Structure 1
Amino acid sequence: MLLNELVTIDPEILGGQPVFKGTRVPVETLFDHLEAGVSLNEFLDDFPGVTKEQAVAVLEVANKFLTAKNLATLYETATG
């Protein structure tokens, strides 16, 4: 699944904050919940508009993005 199939960024929705496509649920909320020790299933119960497939796919994208190789490229881009 492509990122643009998972996440929407629209200035008319929560001021352009990235949200799960088809919802008004910020992607950041998933990470906040997980960081607080809330299980993925509890997150999905709290936000029924987000599918398990969407949440897992976003976590997989984040995992791939934050590999050492990709993170080094990100640092180069940010400091370049």
Structure 2
Amino acid sequence: MFANNEDLLERITINSKIMVGKPVIRGTRLTVEYILGLLAHGISMEAILEEYPGLVKDDIFACLLFASKTLQDASFVPLGAEAV
């Protein structure tokens, strides 16, 4: 079963105290930008998951969806910053 968009986007968080406020995979310090860079350089999803055993496929799909939504149109507002 596929996760819906809202469930995927909940995997991405923004906190000004983590990675200078860049979007990260919740519970990690892995930025969306970093994961997208790995994919862009031909690193397979399986290799990423092997390198970072705490990740699951939906985390990578969440990064792709976040990037897609961010680029889709200017009306998309990224998730609000978490209060610490």
Same fold (TM over 0.5): yes
Partner SS, residue 49 of structure 1: coil
Please provide the CA RMSD for this pair. 2.4
The 1:31/1:57 distance shift into structure 2, 3 A limit, reads same
Larger fraction in helix = 1
Aligned AA (1:56): F
> CA-to-partner distance for each residue in 1:27-79, whole Å, 9 max, x for gaps?
1111101111110111112222222122123324544x37xxx73x43xxxxx
| C-alpha contact (below 8 Å) 1:30/1:55 kept by paired residues | yes
Identity of aligned residues (%): 35
The alpha carbon displacement at 1:9 in A equals 0.6
User: Which sections of structure 1, spanning at least 5 residues, go unmatched?
Assistant: 75-80
SS where residue 15 of structure 1 aligns? helix
Contact 1:25 1:47 (C-alpha < 8 Å) held by counterparts: no
Larger relative CO (CA 8 A, sep 6+): 1 or 2? 2
Structure 1 segments (4+ residues) deviating >6 Å: none
Aligned length: 69
1:51 to 2:73 alignment: no
* Larger of the two Rg values belongs to structure: 1
